[in-house]
């Protein structure tokens, strides 16, 4: 179908089709959900197992190792890591990219069930919980809530009233409250009175659990009514607990009030939280996995307003807002796209110098962009920084096709003096194949991305589809809308006239005239320069090679990274005090850190936690009295960058005695993509924890000396001081006690045990049995804890004094009778990877790329002597980066191969595609220089930019080579064809290049939040476009002639005697002797006496010489105007078996022609 003719003759149909696309796109645009990135599925499954109050080494041996061994047989396994701390085990199973995470979770669950058969039978050991890691579970909002003077009332109000309201908002998965003081009913048991009444702590715990029950008791019938019988035993008031019997002594009941006191209080304070220095509880909001972040946050804001009306005393301070960052990022990318589009239109106006012509081309931008939204919606995509970044980067490319088509229409009007109507059809038809081929090259380069299974494949597939969609629509626009509008808006005028009276002309006329004269001068200068290049081909090629070699000398100076770090304006400060530091001392230190933070004028909010470290995984991490953190949110309008603020605060906080702060920027993109950070990590493997600790100290000390490596930390802490009780099992057995009896009693005495739950107004609060704090501080007090009652006559008892009447303590068994205290140390955490113990030493590159820092770390590791059986390896980040880069490298190579195949098919030549593909290495020069000069590292986004360049830069080569071949088909000499094609295509090439560069410039500059992700990509594309265009204009034509000569020489040597008979040219042109095609077959002589042949020896008419030197089915006969036409019976003839054609009589417009005889080779 002739699209150009159809569009010109059916303008209303074309307009309606385009209007339908734009209308559909506009509707879909309003319905697209907004998010930061495309949905990324990390193939990771976690197994969490709780075993309260059990040491890490015991959990490692009896839980972690069996689980690791079981899941190691899972299919498509990549890596197994684990972390074991007191009371819990967490095993993380990572699978190969592309694995079905749903099936992987099922496989892991089945393997865990098998491993559970070998678990200990301890009732406190919880069932392992298997869950898939989902980046969407990261918090979207973190609030600090204050207002109530009583912290217990504040926490209770948030737990019972506020949190359910927030969780009722659409899209919210959970609103978790942390900090404050949690209400609890505390039963403080007096150990002396227990001994006096011959009771144990376990007696009190069991009795409370047995009494605080509501139980069904059957059904009763009376008359015609049936009643459900219930036994009501729930405590209606905490005071009722005092009255329940705790046991009996000397035949009399002993009430719980006789051995304990009951108070309505709170759990032991193990965590302090503050907002801007004032006591506050934290509320962490997470969304459902399929919910939209921005809309969910808006729903939460509405609920917060509702809560504040209900409870005006509450004050909510926003400490973290992921939705704000996402919204700002998406809006900034939108603005960059619009600015880029306006700049592209402005440069087109400068080149075209005609408002109507510019309007014809500029319309392709809104048509393509808005129509693309419809395809995004149908594919289920979101409006994110990647999809919008693809549109922003494609903005400058969208106009390419329209520019080339319109420029060719202009040439037909100016050169052939055709009407706008005729020129629109013929100009579009002539250039259509080249435009289609050049556009398809850009679309083809993204196909390899769909084969990549790693992070790049998930992250950039949506980006690639957006570019493909927009380019496809721009191609449709160029071949339909542009000729239709040109036929009606141009009216014979093309570019603005240069010969205007500069004295009387308007500013616009003067500007356009000067631009026209400058472009004419540029055309002439380029032709002269190209003519010089053709005369000094070796110098041109040698210079290009020299420039390439010189450029690649600075490649090592361009660092590498996985993803660029984004500046969200949020960061955290973590402080780790020495192991064993009391919570109160840690809290005092964190308060000093808060004061320093709040004095910085750039800080908006600071949310602090003492006793834990805040995490963006959903809640706080495990409680550690020696740790604390401050999460900082900076003001949007500030004078210093986030990095500068972090550096200043790090210096100030480091001056505090014994404090080494870890200041980490919250990089949401990295959190979503990798589930962690981009630290440079060294993993040290070995068995002995003490030896690993020493090696960790050595390596961390060496790494702290590396410039640009901050926050060096070891995931191993000093051994925790422990008071270990060695139970004499023989003695315990004599008293009828088991090890677990003794351990549970000791745990109840010190940590407390939840005996039951107190119910009030539909909410429940724990009833905790424990010893008074003042009676469990010293070793002497713990030694006298009663752990049992003697059950044999051989039991050794010990008298104790008591105020209770008729006390008979002789049967009491104290802890010191069956256990011996020993002071020691135990690991606070044990980490393992692939069933081996290891520790990780990591640091955050700041001011330098990860690769630069990694190179220096590798050097200094040579100074660390590893004992036998110990070794180090790079962490997961470095391994993943190498894998991703390898995959992207394969994608680039595959893209080049696909483009070569496409070009070979387009030109029916194996040689011309090589000429065009020379643009690719020239673009690599610009990529290296642009990244080096901008100080940006080469990461995955820059790799995608390089992939884009492979498709973009060959467009210029296609335009040059295609038009050169077309001119040679008309009989023009090769060099003259090159000298004509270059200047003719100069303006379209410069126009499209400048439009693309300016269209991407706002992204490359990195205006606004979130732009850091696409900035390296745009920088790479801009640099590559500039250098490839400059070199392509001279090197590609030069190499084109070199390849042409080499083909002729090779053909002459390989096929002897394949020459053409002399032919007397017409129109007074001297005959050509021995003209040989590039593949060794006879060339065809045109009417002016020149040979016309492509790179394969194929005459661009209707005949082709076969391999034996004989003409194929149709001979080529020169027409009177120098064009080829097939010989017809009576007017020309088919070649006979010997390759001798019969003469034509010249009828039907063909000129008489001498016989052309081919020779067998």
Question: Residue 723: beta bridge partners?
Answer: 823
Token reading at 855 = 């190179």
For 158-195, write each residue's pLDDT tens digit. 999 999 999 999 999 999 998 888 999 999 998 888 88
Q: What's the rounded mean pLDDT across residues 370-387?
A: 89
- Predicted pLDDT of residue 1103: 39
Answer yes or no: is pLDDT of 1153 > 70. no
Confidence of residue 552 (pLDDT cuts 50, 70, 90): confident
Backbone dihedral angles phi then psi of residue 118, each to the nearest 5 degrees: -100, 10
Q: Minimum mean pLDDT among 16-30, 102-116, 907-921: which range? A: 907-921
How many whole angstroms separate alpha carbon 585 and alpha carbon 648? 25
Task: Provide the pLDDT for residue 811.
Answer: 62
| pLDDT at 86 > cutoff 90 | no
Neighbours of 9 (CB within 10 A): 14
Identify the pLDDT of residue 417.
80
The burial of 862, by beta-carbon neighbours within 10 Å (0-12 exposed, 13-18 middle, 19 or more buried), is given as exposed
Q: In the chain, how many H helices and how many E strands?
A: 35, 35
> What's the pLDDT score for residue 119?
93
pLDDT for residue 1152: 39
Give me the mean pLDDT over the 1062-1080 stretch. 39
pLDDT band at 235 (very low <50, low <70, confident <90, very high): very high
Q: Are 931 and 1019 in contact (CB under 8 A)?
A: yes
Which residue, among 586, 311, 145, 389, has the nearest Cα to 1012 in the 3D structure? 389
Lowest mean pLDDT among 209-223, 445-459, 862-876: 445-459
| Residue 220 pLDDT | 87
- Kindly report the three-state secondary structure assignment for every residue of 574-640: EEECCCCCCHHHHHHHHHHHHHHHHCCCCEEEEEEEECCCCCCCCCCCCCCCCEEEEEEEECCCCCC
Question: CA geometry: angle at 490 spanning 486 and 491, to 5°?
Answer: 125
pLDDT value at position 674? 62
What pLDDT sits at residue 676? 61
Contact (CB, 8 A) for 1037 and 975: no
pLDDT digits (tens, 9 = 90+) for 1019-1053: 999 999 999 888 888 988 999 999 888 887 776 66
* Residues 286-314: tens digit of each pLDDT: 998 878 888 899 999 999 999 999 999 99
| Per-residue pLDDT, 13 | 92
Q: Are 277 and 598 in contact (CB under 8 A)?
A: yes
pLDDT band at 1114 (very low <50, low <70, confident <90, very high): very low
Look at residue 1053 in the predicted model and tell me its pLDDT.
65
3-class SS string, 646-712: HHHHHHHHCCCCCCCCEEEECCHHHHHHHCCCCCEEEEEECCCHHHHHHHHHHHHHHHCCCCCEEEE
pLDDT at 113: 93
Mean pLDDT of the region 869-898: 90
How confident is the model over 767-807, as pLDDT tens digits? 999 988 877 777 777 888 888 765 544 444 444 444 433 33
Angle between helices 364-378 and 455-476 (to 10 degrees): 130
751, pLDDT greater than 50: yes
Handedness of CA 95, 100, 105, 107 (dihedral sign): negative
User: Whole-angstrom Cα distance, residue 955 to residue 957?
Assistant: 5
Reported pTM: 0.75
The reported pLDDT for the residue numbered 1075 is 41
The domains of the chain, with CATH numbers, are: 1-31+353-440+455-494 (1.20.1640.10), 44-133 (3.30.70.1430), 137-182+279-325 (3.30.70.1320), 184-263+721-826 (3.30.2090.10), 569-666 (3.30.70.1430)
> How many residues appear in the chain?
1161
Alpha-carbon distance 731 to 290, whole Å? Answer: 59
Provide the pLDDT for residue 494.
Answer: 52
E strands along 306-426, which residues? Answer: 315-321
696-719 tens-digit pLDDT: 999 999 999 999 888 898 887 777
Sign (positive or negative) of CA dihedral 686, 688, 691, 696: positive
Q: Which residue has the higher pLDDT, 1088 or 6?
A: 6
Q: Does residue 46 carry a pLDDT above 90? A: yes
Q: Contact, 913 vs 903, CB < 8 A? A: yes
- Output the average pLDDT for the chain: 82
Q: Round to whole Å and give the CA distance between 1001 and 1014.
A: 11
Which of 393, 372, 359 is closest to 998 using CA atoms? Answer: 393
Q: Per residue in 401-412, pLDDT tens?
A: 888 888 888 888
% of the chain surpassing 90 pLDDT? 31
Mean pLDDT of 433-444: 86
3-state DSSP assignment of residue 267: coil
Give the 3-state secondary structure of residue 321.
Answer: strand
b/e sequence 171-208, b meaning 16+ C-beta within 10 Å: bbbbbbbbbbbbbbbbbbbebbbbbbbbbbbbbbbebb
Give the pLDDT of residue 756.
94
Place of tokens 């992700």: 1013
**Residue-level pLDDT at 599:** 93
Q: How confident is the model at residue 930 (pLDDT cuts 50, 70, 90)?
A: very high
Query: What pLDDT is attached to residue 1074?
Result: 38
Helix, strand, coil abundance in the chain, percent, nearest 5: 50, 20, 30
Least confident of 165-179, 562-576, 580-594: 562-576
* pLDDT confidence of residue 776: 73
Q: What is the dihedral of CA 237, 241, 244, 249, to 10 degrees?
A: -160
- Distances from the Cα of 1092 to the Cαs of 100, 528, 916, in angstroms? 58, 26, 21
**pLDDT at residue 809 tops 70:** no
- The model's pLDDT over 460-503, given as tens digits with 9 standing for 90+, comes to 888 889 999 999 999 999 999 999 998 888 765 555 555 555 56
Q: How far is CA 614 from the centre of its chain?
A: 23
Whole-number Å distance between alpha carbons of 1021 and 1005 = 13
Q: What is the pLDDT of residues 632-678, one digit of tens each?
A: 999 888 888 888 999 999 999 999 988 888 898 887 777 776 656 67
Q: Where are the beta strands (DSSP E) in 968-1086?
A: 1084-1085
Strand partners, 459: none
For residue 272, the cross-strand partners are 610
- 3-state SS class at 277: coil
């Amino acid at each position: 179908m002739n699209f150009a003719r159809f569009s010109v003759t059916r303008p209303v149909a074309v307009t309606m089709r385009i209007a339908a696309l734009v209308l559909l796109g506009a509707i879909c645009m309003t319905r697209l959900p907004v998010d930061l990135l495309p949905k990324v599925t990390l193939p990771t499954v976690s197994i969490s197992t709780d075993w309260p109050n059990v040491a890490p080494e015991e959990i490692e041996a009896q839980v972690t190792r069996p689980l690791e061994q079981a899941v190691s047989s899972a299919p498509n396994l990549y890596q197994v890591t684990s972390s074991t701390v007191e009371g819990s085990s967490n095993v993380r199973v990572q699978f190969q990219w592309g694995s079905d995470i749903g099936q992987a979770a099922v496989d892991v669950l089945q393997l865990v069930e098998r491993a559970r058969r070998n678990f200990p039978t301890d009732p406190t050991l919880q069932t392992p919980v298997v869950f898939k890691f989902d980046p969407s579970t990261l918090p979207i909002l973190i609030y600090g809530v204050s207002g109530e003077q009583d912290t217990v009332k504040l926490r209770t109000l948030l737990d019972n009233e506020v949190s359910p309201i927030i969780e009722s908002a659409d899209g919210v998965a959970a609103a978790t409250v942390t900090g404050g003081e949690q209400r609890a009913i505390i039963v403080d048991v007096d150990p002396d009175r227990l001994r006096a009444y011959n009771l144990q702590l376990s007696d009190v715990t069991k009795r409370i659990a047995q009494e605080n029950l509501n139980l069904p008791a059957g059904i009763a019938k009376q008359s015609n009514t049936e009643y459900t019988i219930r036994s009501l035993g729930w405590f209606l008031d905490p005071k009722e607990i005092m009255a329940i019997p705790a046991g009996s002594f000397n035949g009399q009941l002993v009430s719980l009030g006789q051995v304990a006191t009951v108070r309505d209080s709170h759990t032991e304070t193990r965590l302090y939280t503050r907002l801007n220095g004032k006591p506050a509880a934290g509320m962490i909001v997470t969304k459902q996995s399929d919910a939209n972040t921005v809309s969910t946050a808006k729903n939460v804001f509405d609920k917060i307003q509702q809560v504040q009306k209900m409870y005006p005393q509450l004050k909510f301070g926003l400490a973290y807002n992921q939705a704000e960052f996402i919204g700002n990022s998406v809006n900034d990318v939108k603005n960059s796209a619009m600015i880029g589009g306006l700049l592209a239109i402005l440069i087109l106006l400068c080149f075209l110098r005609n408002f109507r012509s510019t309007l014809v081309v500029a319309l392709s931008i809104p048509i393509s962009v808005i129509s693309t939204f419809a395809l995004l919606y149908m594919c289920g995509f979101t409006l994110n920084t990647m999809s919008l970044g693809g549109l922003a980067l494609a903005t400058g490319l969208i106009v390419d096709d329209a520019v080339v088509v319109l420029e060719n229409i202009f040439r037909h009007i100016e050169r052939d003096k055709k009407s706008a109507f005729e020129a629109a059809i013929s100009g579009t038809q002539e250039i259509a194949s080249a435009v289609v081929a050049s556009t398809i090259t850009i679309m083809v380069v993204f196909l390899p991305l769909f084969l990549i299974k790693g992070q790049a494949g998930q992250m950039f597939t949506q980006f690639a589809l957006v570019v493909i969609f927009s380019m496809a629509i721009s191609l449709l626009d160029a071949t339909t809308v542009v000729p239709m509008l040109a036929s009606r808006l141009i009216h014979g005028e093309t570019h603005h006239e240069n010969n205007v009276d500069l004295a009387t002309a308007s500013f616009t006329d003067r500007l356009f005239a000067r631009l026209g004269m400058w472009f004419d001068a540029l055309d002439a200068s380029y032709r002269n320069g190209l003519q010089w290049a053709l005369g000094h081909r070796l110098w041109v090629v040698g210079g290009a090679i020299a420039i390439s070699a010189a450029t690649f000398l600075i490649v090592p100076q361009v660092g590498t990274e996985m993803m660029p770090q984004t500046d969200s304006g949020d960061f955290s400060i973590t402080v780790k005090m020495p192991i064993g530091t009391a919570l109160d001392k840690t809290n005092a230190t964190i308060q000093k850190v808060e004061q320093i933070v709040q004095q910085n004028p750039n800080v908006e909010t600071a949310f602090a936690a003492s006793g834990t470290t805040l995490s963006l995984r959903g809640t706080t991490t495990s409680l550690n009295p020696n740790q604390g953190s401050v999460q900082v949110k900076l003001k949007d309008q500030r004078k210093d960058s986030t990095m500068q603020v972090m550096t200043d605060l790090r210096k100030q906080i480091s001056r505090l005695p014994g404090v080494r702060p870890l200041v980490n920027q919250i990089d949401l993109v990295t959190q979503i993509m990798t589930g962690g950070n981009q630290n440079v990590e060294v993993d040290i493997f070995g068995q002995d924890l003490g030896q690993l600790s020493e090696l960790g100290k050595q390596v961390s000390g060496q790494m702290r000396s590396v410039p640009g490596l901050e926050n060096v930390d070891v995931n191993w802490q000093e051994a925790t001081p422990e008071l270990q009780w060695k139970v004499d099992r023989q003695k315990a057995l004599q008293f009828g006690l088991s090890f677990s009896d003794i351990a549970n009693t000791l745990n109840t005495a010190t940590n407390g045990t939840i005996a039951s739950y107190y119910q009030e107004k539909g909410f429940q609060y724990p009833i905790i049995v424990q010893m008074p704090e003042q009676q469990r501080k010293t070793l002497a007090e713990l030694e006298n804890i009663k752990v049992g009652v003697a059950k044999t006559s051989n039991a050794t008892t010990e008298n104790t004094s008591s105020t209770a009447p008729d006390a008979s303590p002789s049967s009491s068994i104290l802890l010191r009778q069956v256990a011996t205290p020993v002071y020691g140390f135990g690991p606070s955490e044990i980490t393992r990877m692939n069933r081996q113990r290891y520790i990780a030493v990591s640091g955050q590159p700041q001011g330098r790329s990860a690769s630069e820092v990694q190179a220096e770390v590798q050097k200094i590791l040579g100074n660390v002597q590893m004992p036998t059986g110990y070794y180090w390896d790079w962490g997961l980040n470095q391994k993943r980066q190498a894998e991703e880069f390898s995959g992207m490298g394969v994608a680039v190579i595959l893209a080049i191969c696909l483009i070569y195949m496409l070009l070979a098919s387009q030109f029916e030549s194996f040689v011309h595609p090589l000429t065009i593909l020379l643009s690719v290495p020239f673009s690599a020069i610009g990529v290296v220089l642009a990244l080096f000069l901008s100080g940006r590292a080469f990461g995955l986004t820059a790799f995608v930019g390089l992939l884009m360049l492979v498709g973009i830069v060959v467009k210029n080569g296609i335009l040059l080579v295609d038009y050169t071949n077309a001119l040679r088909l008309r009989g023009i000499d090769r060099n003259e064809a090159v000298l004509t094609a270059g200047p003719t295509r100069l303006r379209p090439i410069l126009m499209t290049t400048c439009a693309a560069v300016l269209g991407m410039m706002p992204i490359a500059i990195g205006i606004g939040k979130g732009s850091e992700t696409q900035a390296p990509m745009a920088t790479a594309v801009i640099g590559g476009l500039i250098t490839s265009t400059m070199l392509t204009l001279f090197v590609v034509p030069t190499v084109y002639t070199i390849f042409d000569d080499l083909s002729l020489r090779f053909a002459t040597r390989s096929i002897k005697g394949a020459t053409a008979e002399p032919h007397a040219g017409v129109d007074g042109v001297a005959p050509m002797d021995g003209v040989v095609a590039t593949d060794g077959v006879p060339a065809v002589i045109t009417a002016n006496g020149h040979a016309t042949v492509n790179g394969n020896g194929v005459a661009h008419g209707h005949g082709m010489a076969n391999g034996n030197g004989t003409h194929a089915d149709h001979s080529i006969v020169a027409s009177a105007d120098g064009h080829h036409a097939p010989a017809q019976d009576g007017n020309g003839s088919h070649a006979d078996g010997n390759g001798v054609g019969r003469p034509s009589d010249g009828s039907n417009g063909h000129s008489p022609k001498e016989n052309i005889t081919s020779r067998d080779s």
